[in-house]
Each structure stands twice: as C-alpha cells, then as structure tokens.
Structure 1
Amino acid sequence: MYKNELQAITKSNRYRSRKLYSDDLADFSSNDYLGFAQNQALFERSVAQVSLYKTHAPKASILVNGYHPIHQEFEDFLIRHNGFEAALVCGSGFLANFSLIEALPRKKDLLILDEEYHASGMVASKTVDAEVLTFAHNDTNHLESLINTHKHNRIIIAVEGIYSMSGDLLNREIFDVADRYNALLIVDEAHSVGILGENLRGVFDLFGITPKDNHIKMGTLGKALGSYGAYILCSHHIAEFLQNRAKAIIYTTAPSLFDIALGYQGLLFILKYREKLKAEIKARQAIVQKSLGMNIEGLICSYPLKEDSNALSVQQHLIDEGFLVGAIRPPTVPKPILRLIPRLGESTEALETLCHLIQKENF
C-alpha cells in the first residue's frame, strides 16, 4: 500500500530501521548520559519502592483512578527541589510537550517556537488555533521582532535547555524577553536535567533563575535519569488548566509506577553524588575539546561530517572498530552529523580512543 513512498524514502537515503546492537560495543550513542541504565542499585531500589504497594500498575488515566502515591511523592519531590508551585507526571517527553503545545495556545494567541524545537512540539503546533511562528535559533532579536509585529492575546514561547541535535545551550536572554512581555515560556529540559547547573537541575539552575508564574519546565526521565516518562513543572494555575484541557494528559493511561520510581531514584542519586557527577561530566567535556576541538555545554557532541560523507557508512566503520555513535541524517538535521554522547556509562579511556579515531579518519 505504501510501496512507492517507501521506495522514495529509500532512494533519498532516509530509510530507517530498528536494530539490535551488541552489548560489546562502547556505547556513545545513547541519551543515558549518566550511565543510570546500567546501575543495578537504582533498579533494585525502584523495585523495592513499588513493592510497598498493593498494585504495581497505574490501571487508568491519571484523572480517573490512575493517580498513585508514587506519582504524588515524586511530584512533591520535584516541587521542593525545583521551586515551582505544581508538578504533573506524564507518560513521556513527547506526550508532555504535546500536552503543553496543544493545550496552552488558544484562539488569538501567539505561539512562537525556536526553529530547532523538538518534533513533539512542532507536531503539536499543527493542532492549535493560535498563530504559530518560528524564530531563528536562539535569536532574541528575531523573537522580539515577531512579538512586536504580530497581534496577540497571550504569548507562548517554546525553547529547549540544550538542543537535542546541535547540543546548543539556550540563550539566557530569552528569559528576559519572556518576562518583559509577560509571555509563557516553555523550557524543554530533556537534555539538560542531570547535566547542567550547580545541583544538576538544568538551565534554571545554571542561570540562577527563580521560577515565576510565566515559567514552565518540562523534564524527562528517559535521558539522564535512565528511565522512561516525564514531568511538567509550573504554577498552580497552569497545572489546573492542563489537567482540564491537555488531551495527552486526560486521555492516556497514567505513567508506569516502576518508571516513575526509577526516575525518582535517579534524582535522589544525583542529589547525593552531584559533585562526583559534575567532575566526571567536566572530564568528558575536556576530552572532546582537546581531541576534537569542540566545546560542548552538555553531553551532546554534534560532529559535522564532510559534504560527501555517508553518515550510515561512517557509523558502520566505527561499529567495526567497536564504537556505537549516532548517525543523524536529513530531515532530522540540515546536514549529516555524528551525534557523539560522551556518557558516563563508558570510560574516559574509551572516549579518548573514539575521539582520536574520528580525528584520524577525518570523516
């Protein structure tokens, strides 16, 4: 039925498939930034936490009877340690972003997304009645000019703490623009929580920003926390509105109890060992800078390939050498890149070897 479309995708070198990779490969591809997916102690603590209760599954929507004490305890922890008024757990980062972008902009509002915002937000933006615009990546002048040249009721701005493909850090001045125009500011911290800031809480922590009523933070459990799921931090008012209007919250089964418990244990681990983790993150950033000449703010190294390079062929070459890295192609990115994650789950020695190999091959 879709034979012609699949042929076109294949011809354009954009065909995707699922693969099982050997555990023997040094993994520099995963978003498991801190290596928590390999931490058996976190797994066992999460099992013990869930085992305290009669049920081990949420059973229903969070607004029917799927809300569980594990959800509530995790939300209370997030509120205490992030300084927001309210928290909502969600099934995934995609669902959390979709909830925010689909529900918050109403008719006569203005929704402005960074042009590199995650696909979840871009897809959700197609469903709204508001006027939808994109601004040049991290460009506050362009953002402000769009606000001043378009009519609006409310303004909603959507950005990322660290951008998932480029690894760019959010421009701090965007907070100032949002506050100046009393705009709702959605900050997707999927790739910055556990990586940035004095307490490894992300860009709010890094920039020393006290959350305000117009600030919204989205974090995932499926990256640095080594689990699956997400959360939204916001004001009481916004949380109340979302649980009454956000379809991806209202009409989905509540998040897995085990996954929430596992993410919770990950955050507790970060709180206890943050100084050690920060030192290990800095050590890996220094290796990337020294070996590849690239300064990375987080743990995403977007290594540009030559114009004539085939990303999948380069990836396979590195696999043959014992290393797994991401091969990212258009349309996900404008030009093919290697997405190298200098994660704490692999040794610094392995990272040095990989970086030297990439430099030597000069892909």
Structure 2
Amino acid sequence: MAFEFVKQQVEKRKQQQLFRQRRCQSSAQGRLIDIDNQQFVNFSSNDYLGLSHHPRVIDAWIKGAERYGVGSGGSPLVTGFQKAHYQLEETLCEWQGREGALLFNSGYSANQSVIKALLKKNDVLIQDKLNHASLMEAGVLCDANFSRFQHNSVSQLANRLESQQGENCLVITEGVFSMDGDQAPLKPISDLCKQHNAWLMVDDAHGVGCLGDQGRGSADQQNLTPSDVQIQMLTFGKALGVSGATILCNQALKDYLVNFDKSYVYSTAMPAAQACAVTEAIRVLQTQPELQQQLADNIALFRSLAIENNIAVADSNTAIQPIIIGEADKALAMAESLQGKGFWVSAIRPPTVPVNTARLRVTLSSHHQAQDIVDLINAIHEVSKENYGHR
C-alpha cells in the first residue's frame, strides 16, 4: 500500500508538469557546463562570482587536504574542531564584525538548528511568507506559535508583533529572496523588532558575497550593524563558491548553541580542507572587488537589454533575475527551447513557487561575458515570440 501511494504521488507530479529530475553534469561549475554530451552557457548557477573554480580557493582546499586529510573525523565537540575551523570562525567574525560564528554543513541545517534550539512552547516565530523552505519547515515543526506576514510588508509585520503574546519572539526574513531576487527592507524591520523586543534573524544566502563592502551582504549594504540584526545565516555554497554555512551571533548565543543545538552537537563537522577553502574565498572577496563590480555590470546589462526587448523581468537588482511565465508547462517548454539554443536556464515550478507563478530563473555571474547576455536576451525574445506570442 505504501508503494502504491508513492507511485500515485509521482504520477500526479508528472501529470501536472511538476515532476523533478536530476541532470548529470560532467564539467566543473562555470560559465559553460556540459550536460548529456552537450555544452551550454550556464545561467542557472548560484556561483555568482566564479569562486568555485578560482585558483586560490582550489589551492587552499588542496593544501588543507594535504595537511588535515579529507574528513574531520567526528562532531565538533569530539574530534571535529580543528585549527582550520577555528581560523574560519575567526575570519568570519572579523569580516562581519561579529562576536561569534558557528559552522554548519548546509544553510538548510543551520536555519533549522537555530529555530529548533531557540524556540519552545509559547514562544513566537514570525516569518516573511516567501522565506526559504528550510525556514518554513522548521517553523511548522517547532513548538512555537508560528505566523507569517505578507512578503516584505512592514505594516503587516507590525500587526503581527503588536498582537504576539510570547516573551521570546523571533522574526526571520531573507536578505535577498532566492526565487524573486528582491531584497527585504531590513532597516524598518529591524526598528520594529527593537520596539517589540524581538530577535531579528536574516538568511543572507544570496546576498553575502554579492552585496555590501567586501561582499559582507545585505545588512552591510543597508547600513545595519550586528546590534540591528542579532542573527545572520550565511552560506558558503553560492557566491563563496564552496559549501557549508555559518550562524553569526553574539558570544552568549554561540555558547548556547554549542550546548543545546542538537544538529550542531551530533553532526560530523565539515572537513577542515573545506574550511580552508572558504577562508580563502573570503580573502579573495576582500582583495578582488572587481568580481563584485563585474557582477553588478552584468546585472545592469541584462536588465537594460530585457527592457529594450520588452521582456518582463521582475523588480530585482540582484544576480537573480526571474522572468514570470505563469503556467508550469509553458515555463518548462521555454526552458527546453532555450536549451535547444545552447542556454541552460532553469524552469522553477510549484511547489517551489506559488501556483501560476512558474518562471525562468536567470542567474547572472561575474564570469558571464557581455556577449553571453546579449545572446541570451535574443534567445529569450525569439523563444517567447515564436511559442507564446510577443511578451
């Protein structure tokens, strides 16, 4: 019976044009990728600055592996906390102006860890409606009173805060939203949290590396300090080009998480070599501002060309540039047509995004060439006009 249920659910997804499949890539991340013996210009990667193949970052991983091996050997409280992990935490604190940093194997686990460790029965959790699935799932599973506010609606957040009864309240938003590319108004959100004695946590997975001085992220770009955003979650697998994540906070919260966060206490630590690579990626960010500038130039070029060609792009000034198509089958067909023209652009469909908002999610990087962007815009214009009428 259980397997019949599984089969039925998979078949339902297929009929709805929502079935997901992996495509095996035979090349490194980069401007060009090889899939199924065909080469594409890659407009789907979160490797926004090309650091996944930066020579300094690769060399740091190699030297780290030679010194520490390829595994950490245990959880951080047993044998899995090595000098490379300590140095990465210190680098993160210095870079971000924080007292404490704690390392996790993924942004998903970091987000869930904080919510589960901090919030108990009768506590309050309030989240932006478009927050990442890791945050939403943890909100549903935790014992706190969980509510959401309309995307980026400061007024509705104010109403939620005014009506909340718990003594311990956590508000969470993303810095840059992963499917829409827009940014949260962090200053008014922070001001509200202070007025109501609530914690503010910002998931800046898609902002760190791309925004702010030395790529410090959304809070820095919007002139906020650690006292304005008590908790930051940053990932290492996007603009930093490696993998893993960190929770940035004050020393007291760090000590609390080390003692009470089960995910941290009972998970094997990331390899020390990986920590070496992340540390070097941060140093590249700090010494090569031209990477951020090139990304900004590519974003501006894409948006100006899209407007010239009557392509309706969303209100985003970040590396994430969604083109809303609406129906899932149409978004999938457009993505396949673009593949036929040599461009790898992902079709994002429900349940990742709301029904009737399926989209092409174009992601830009510093290693895209201007001609790549020109050619992509022309291809989108042609595919849209040929298949669905002029958009």
Range of TM-score over shorter length: over 0.9
Aligned to 1:289: 303
Q: CA deviation at 1:306?
A: 4.9
Q: 1:123 to 1:141 in 2, by over 3 A?
A: same
Aligned to 1:157: 171
CA distance in 2: counterparts of 1:183 and 1:116, whole angstroms = 20
Q: 8 Å contact 2:328–2:358 — kept in the other structure?
A: no
CA distance in 1: counterparts of 2:243 and 2:229, whole angstroms = 27
1:82 and 2:96 matched: yes
Amino acid at match of 2:202: V
- After TM superposition, the score normalised by the length of structure 2 is 0.88
Amino acid at match of 2:222: F
CA distance in 2: counterparts of 1:262 and 1:208, whole angstroms = 28
CA distance in 2: counterparts of 1:56 and 1:289, whole angstroms = 42
Deviations for 1:217-242, whole angstroms, at most 9, x for unmatched residues? 11011101111100110011111111
Q: 8 Å contact 2:292–2:366 — kept in the other structure?
A: no
Counterpart selection for 2:148 from 101, 118, 134: 134
SS state at 1:97 partner:
helix
CA distance in 2: counterparts of 1:225 and 1:100, whole angstroms = 22
Q: 8 Å contact 1:226–1:262 — kept in the other structure?
A: no
Counterpart selection for 1:271 from 283, 286, 300: 286
Q: CA deviation at 1:40?
A: 3.2
Q: 8 Å contact 1:115–1:134 — kept in the other structure?
A: yes
1:18 and 2:22 matched: yes
Q: 8 Å contact 1:71–1:260 — kept in the other structure?
A: yes
CA distance in 2: counterparts of 1:149 and 1:61, whole angstroms = 41
Q: CA deviation at 1:307?
A: 4.4
CA distance in 2: counterparts of 1:213 and 1:352, whole angstroms = 40
Report how many residues are paired. 361
Counterpart selection for 1:312 from 303, 322, 332: 332
Aligned to 2:28: none
Unaligned runs of 5+ in 1: none
CA distance in 2: counterparts of 1:315 and 1:78, whole angstroms = 38
Q: CA deviation at 1:178?
A: 1.5
Aligned to 1:351: 373
Counterpart selection for 2:118 from 104, 113, 133: 104
Counterpart selection for 1:91 from 68, 82, 105: 105
- After TM superposition, the score normalised by the length of structure 1 is 0.95
1:120 and 2:134 matched: yes
Q: 1:74 to 1:138 in 2, by over 3 A?
A: same
Counterpart selection for 2:342 from 310, 313, 322: 322
Q: For structure 1, which segment, 288-297 or 65-74, has the greater mean C-alpha deviation from structure 2 after superposition? A: 288-297
Amino acid at match of 1:85: E
1:241 and 2:256 matched: yes
Amino acid at match of 1:333: V
Counterpart selection for 2:364 from 331, 342, 357: 342
Q: CA deviation at 1:161?
A: 0.6
SS state at 1:100 partner:
helix
Identity of aligned residues (%): 32
Q: 8 Å contact 1:36–1:345 — kept in the other structure?
A: no
1:46 and 2:61 matched: yes
Aligned to 2:12: 8
